[in-house]
A and B are shown apart, each in its own frame.
Chain A
């Protein structure tokens, strides 16, 4: 299959009032890639992610996701786009009034005409895939720990078999073993379903083991774009220190 571009950012400019976050940020994410957005605190990683999923407006440049320019997308286009991606927010962002199972089922109930039993079974399968035991299904988000909320959030993001998965710090707050299992799960999903993954992360193991390519943001620009191998060969001291 021809290499396709799932996300294309061109000269993105973001400002909050007087404060400039991004000034000409450009990069491309290929289909099937696990792509990382890296950078120090306050470098605008999460902002960049939010711009891709239309939660934040850009002040300049162009952001194309799955071929659609997000700042010019019509309502219909935006709706269609939203069904093709799944998002895991940093703290899960589960709906507190629904049980965990209902949280995973809600998108399938709204957007497919499948009967309830298969929706329920798929939802339970996804919960099991992210490593949650059966008894969690009927619990409410307020009864879960932070790590479990995150897993449930991932199950919800995967509910519609998205083409594109956005993860905001997926392994933060997980114990090391769960974090590696999470990494493995994401790698397997990419392999089997051909999902492209965009993630904001600080986890050094995730960066080394899972990411195909990444960008490092700094000084309102992209400081580095490429893989771990190319980063190791760099002569830039500041970038070298980034991973230590």
Chain B
């Protein structure tokens, strides 16, 4: 049966005997840790003797606490001697005493305003550096791209096809579903408004133009950004952590050719193809609502598309797709290379990569939209 640890103070004139009893192990010493020293030294005593002969059990935490008591007494100008310890205890006492932490850990304590100012500065510099390294990244990427296009045999076709399968073909189901639903939503909202004016047939232009020109490409890009920007960042980041990227570099394999270009080409190729499916399905969604809510039959709908919807809308949608693909792949890879050796940064940069990719896709879409409309297209 383990006994509770305790100290008994026995004062004899100038010397005091501290009798340690019981088991000094981590599960039992909590009660004794409340004060620096649980015995009150008297004015007349100058020397303390710690007697260990009644200690039944001990571990480093118990020893630590005893040492702490002894050090506290020594700080108050008392001398402390140990007696009655068993050989193994003596050894442990010696080790613990040698390694007892004496110097304090420096804790930085700052003033709130200064700290926040420092933070602002730090963030600004970091933002500037990120921008600079992004430009350098895109510069190098362009260089690698041109080199690859001039020497098409050097392109890693197998890796490119793999990423087309993963990021392109793998995204088809979710893109079909979301596009279909978007087609339904536009048609449904449009139907209630158009019905009021008896302008039912205009549902065709409304659904088709908004889908093929804006919504299908944008939605596809957002879904792909969510799926692939994150996975590219995480893949490249973990490869950095496991030194795979360094190994590649040192063997003379360029990470551009092996990691970045296949991903870039894969998205540039597969986004227009995905947009093609998204166009069909979202228009189909509109057709379903048009025929059920507005009595515009499928045949009428398609005839009207041929008559009134210009090809340019479709073409504009297709031109935007590879641009979005390039944005997503570039940001995904760039953020991946920013990941450093800690696991936390994987989460951080993966999140940033998705947020950035979606933001830039929308921003560029807005820019193109305004530009083209102003140009009269």
Contact = CB atoms under 8 A, between A and B. Distances in A.
A191 B91 contact: yes
A192 B342 contact: no
Contacts of A115: 30, 33-34
A112 B26 contact: yes
Nearest to B94: A192
Interface in A153-209: 158, 160-161, 188, 191-194
A130 B88 CA distance: 19
Interface in A116-157: 117-118, 121-122, 124-126, 128-129, 134, 137-138, 140-142
Contact of B344 (A96, A125, A129, A161): A96
Contact of A161 (B61, B65, B101, B342): B61
Contact of B29 (A96, A101, A114): A114
Contacts of B34: 115
Contacts of A137: 105
A166 B101 CA distance: 26
B342 A160 contact: no
Interface residues of A, number: 31
B59 A193 contact: yes
Contact of A121 (B29, B89, B91, B101): B101
Nearest to A158: B60
B244 interface: no
A192 B64 contact: no
A126 to B, nearest CB: 7
Nearest to B26: A112
A161 B30 contact: no
Interface string A102-120: 0000001000111101100
B68 A121 contact: yes
A101 B105 CA distance: 11
Interface string B51-67: 00000000111001100
A97 interface: yes
Interface in B315-348: 340-344
A124 B68 CA distance: 13
For B30, B59, B105, B343, the residue with the greatest tally of chain A CB atoms inside 10 Å of its CB is: B105
A114 B344 contact: no
B26 A138 contact: no
B99 A129 contact: yes
For A125, A128, A138, the residue with the greatest tally of chain B CB atoms inside 10 Å of its CB is: A125
Instruction: Classify the interface of chain A: helix, strand, loop or mixed.
Output: helix
Nearest to B90: A192
Contacts of A124: 101, 105
Contact of B99 (A117, A125, A192): A125
B105 A193 contact: no
Interface string B11-41: 0000000000000011101100110000000
A139 to B, nearest CB: 11
Given A112-B26, A138-B105, A193-B59, A121 B343 contact: no
A125 B101 contact: yes
B343 A160 contact: no
Contacts of A191: 88, 91
Contacts of B60: 122, 125-126, 158, 161, 193
Q: A-B pairs with the 7 shortest C-beta distances?
A: A128-B99, A124-B101, A96-B342, A192-B92, A161-B59, A142-B341, A192-B91
Given A114-B26, A125-B100, A128-B99, 14 more contacts: A97-B344, A108-B26, A112-B30, A112-B61, A114-B33, A124-B105, A125-B99, A128-B98, A134-B103, A134-B105, A142-B340, A192-B91, A192-B92, A194-B88
Interface of A: 96-97, 101, 108, 112-115, 117-118, 121-122, 124-126, 128-129, 134, 137-138, 140-142, 158, 160-161, 188, 191-194
26 contacts: A96-B343, A97-B342, A97-B343, A114-B30, A115-B30, A115-B34, A118-B61, A118-B68, A121-B101, A122-B60, A124-B101, A124-B105, A125-B64, A125-B99, A126-B60, A128-B100, A138-B105, A138-B106, A142-B342, A161-B59, A161-B60, A188-B95, A192-B89, A192-B91, A192-B95, A193-B59
